[in-house]
Amino acid sequence: MSTDAFLEHTALPGLPTDDDQPVFASPWEAQIFALVVGLHQQGCFSWPEWTESLSEEIAALRTKGEADLGDSYYRLWVIVLERILTDKSIVYSDDIQNHATKWRKAYLNTPHGLPVLLESADGQLAQNR
Protein backbone atom coordinates (compact mmCIF):
# COMPACT_ATOMS: atom_id res chain seq x y z
CA MET A 1 0.00 0.00 0.00
CA SER A 2 1.37 3.43 -0.91
CA THR A 3 1.86 6.07 1.77
CA ASP A 4 -0.93 8.12 0.14
CA ALA A 5 -3.40 5.25 0.34
CA PHE A 6 -2.21 4.44 3.82
CA LEU A 7 -2.80 7.98 5.08
CA GLU A 8 -6.19 8.20 3.35
CA HIS A 9 -7.47 5.15 5.21
CA THR A 10 -5.96 5.55 8.67
CA ALA A 11 -6.09 7.94 11.56
CA LEU A 12 -2.65 9.07 12.62
CA PRO A 13 -3.21 11.34 15.61
CA GLY A 14 -0.88 14.30 15.53
CA LEU A 15 0.99 13.30 12.36
CA PRO A 16 2.34 16.46 10.73
CA THR A 17 1.60 16.52 7.01
CA ASP A 18 2.27 18.71 4.00
CA ASP A 19 -0.12 18.19 1.08
CA ASP A 20 -1.25 14.90 2.69
CA GLN A 21 2.32 13.59 2.85
CA PRO A 22 4.03 12.91 6.18
CA VAL A 23 6.65 15.47 7.17
CA PHE A 24 9.74 14.41 9.06
CA ALA A 25 12.14 16.71 10.89
CA SER A 26 14.96 14.17 10.74
CA PRO A 27 15.71 10.79 9.12
CA TRP A 28 15.07 8.74 12.28
CA GLU A 29 11.46 9.97 12.30
CA ALA A 30 10.93 8.61 8.78
CA GLN A 31 12.61 5.37 9.82
CA ILE A 32 10.35 4.82 12.86
CA PHE A 33 7.33 5.67 10.68
CA ALA A 34 8.39 3.09 8.08
CA LEU A 35 9.20 0.51 10.77
CA VAL A 36 5.77 0.85 12.39
CA VAL A 37 3.96 0.67 9.05
CA GLY A 38 6.03 -2.34 7.99
CA LEU A 39 5.47 -4.23 11.25
CA HIS A 40 1.75 -3.52 11.00
CA GLN A 41 1.70 -4.79 7.40
CA GLN A 42 3.52 -7.95 8.57
CA GLY A 43 0.70 -8.58 11.08
CA CYS A 44 2.60 -7.80 14.28
CA PHE A 45 -0.27 -5.60 15.46
CA SER A 46 -3.51 -4.17 14.09
CA TRP A 47 -3.77 -0.54 13.07
CA PRO A 48 -6.59 0.14 15.57
CA GLU A 49 -4.33 -1.31 18.26
CA TRP A 50 -1.55 1.05 17.18
CA THR A 51 -3.70 4.18 17.03
CA GLU A 52 -5.35 3.44 20.37
CA SER A 53 -1.98 2.93 22.08
CA LEU A 54 -0.51 6.05 20.48
CA SER A 55 -3.58 8.11 21.37
CA GLU A 56 -3.34 6.94 24.99
CA GLU A 57 0.34 7.93 25.13
CA ILE A 58 -0.41 11.37 23.66
CA ALA A 59 -3.26 11.88 26.14
CA ALA A 60 -0.98 10.87 29.03
CA LEU A 61 1.62 13.38 27.88
CA ARG A 62 -0.99 16.14 27.67
CA THR A 63 -2.30 15.23 31.12
CA LYS A 64 1.20 15.88 32.43
CA GLY A 65 0.91 19.37 30.94
CA GLU A 66 3.15 18.73 27.93
CA ALA A 67 0.77 19.74 25.12
CA ASP A 68 3.42 20.68 22.52
CA LEU A 69 4.16 17.50 20.61
CA GLY A 70 6.35 19.17 17.98
CA ASP A 71 9.56 17.69 19.34
CA SER A 72 8.19 14.58 21.00
CA TYR A 73 5.69 13.03 18.60
CA TYR A 74 7.96 10.40 17.07
CA ARG A 75 9.60 9.71 20.43
CA LEU A 76 6.11 8.58 21.43
CA TRP A 77 6.09 6.28 18.40
CA VAL A 78 9.27 4.63 19.71
CA ILE A 79 7.78 4.26 23.21
CA VAL A 80 4.51 2.81 21.90
CA LEU A 81 6.26 0.44 19.48
CA GLU A 82 8.53 -0.86 22.23
CA ARG A 83 5.54 -1.40 24.52
CA ILE A 84 3.47 -3.22 21.90
CA LEU A 85 6.34 -5.48 20.80
CA THR A 86 7.25 -6.23 24.43
CA ASP A 87 3.62 -6.92 25.43
CA LYS A 88 3.33 -9.36 22.52
CA SER A 89 6.67 -10.99 23.40
CA ILE A 90 8.00 -10.17 19.93
CA VAL A 91 10.98 -8.56 21.65
CA TYR A 92 12.00 -8.47 25.28
CA SER A 93 12.59 -5.38 27.38
CA ASP A 94 16.14 -6.44 28.24
CA ASP A 95 16.96 -6.91 24.54
CA ILE A 96 15.70 -3.40 23.76
CA GLN A 97 17.70 -1.90 26.62
CA ASN A 98 20.87 -3.79 25.69
CA HIS A 99 20.62 -2.76 22.06
CA ALA A 100 19.90 0.87 22.98
CA THR A 101 22.95 0.86 25.27
CA LYS A 102 25.15 -0.51 22.46
CA TRP A 103 23.87 2.14 20.03
CA ARG A 104 24.45 4.92 22.57
CA LYS A 105 28.00 3.72 23.27
CA ALA A 106 28.74 3.44 19.55
CA TYR A 107 27.25 6.86 18.84
CA LEU A 108 29.21 8.54 21.63
CA ASN A 109 32.46 6.91 20.46
CA THR A 110 32.06 7.72 16.77
CA PRO A 111 33.78 10.85 15.44
CA HIS A 112 31.48 13.38 13.81
CA GLY A 113 30.84 12.66 10.15
CA LEU A 114 31.69 8.94 10.31
CA PRO A 115 29.12 6.14 10.19
CA VAL A 116 28.11 4.68 13.54
CA LEU A 117 29.36 1.10 13.86
CA LEU A 118 28.12 -1.52 16.29
CA GLU A 119 30.22 -4.37 17.55
CA SER A 120 28.80 -7.73 16.57
CA ALA A 121 28.43 -10.66 18.95
CA ASP A 122 31.83 -11.99 17.90
CA GLY A 123 33.54 -8.69 18.74
CA GLN A 124 33.96 -7.51 15.16
CA LEU A 125 32.58 -4.23 13.96
CA ALA A 126 29.52 -4.39 11.75
CA GLN A 127 28.34 -1.32 9.84
CA ASN A 128 24.66 -0.53 10.39
CA ARG A 129 22.70 1.36 7.78
C-alpha–C-alpha distance, residues 75 and 122, integer Å = 31
**Is the confidence at residue 26, as pLDDT, over 80?**
yes
Range of the domain at 123: 92-129
Q: Are 9 and 67 part of one and the same domain?
A: yes
Q: What is the structure's pLDDT at 129?
A: 43
Q: What is the structure's pLDDT at 37?
A: 94
Q: Are 126 and 77 part of one and the same domain?
A: no
Q: Are 125 and 96 part of one and the same domain?
A: yes
Q: Are 42 and 10 part of one and the same domain?
A: yes
Q: What percent of the chain shows pLDDT beyond 70?
A: 71
Lowest mean pLDDT among 31-45, 47-61, 86-100: 86-100
Q: What is the pTM of this model?
A: 0.65
C-alpha–C-alpha distance, residues 40 and 6, integer Å = 11
Q: Are 81 and 122 part of one and the same domain?
A: no
Q: Are 76 and 38 part of one and the same domain?
A: yes
Q: Are 78 and 124 part of one and the same domain?
A: no
Q: Are 73 and 122 part of one and the same domain?
A: no
Helix ranges restricted to H, the chain: 3-8, 27-41, 47-63, 73-87, 93-108
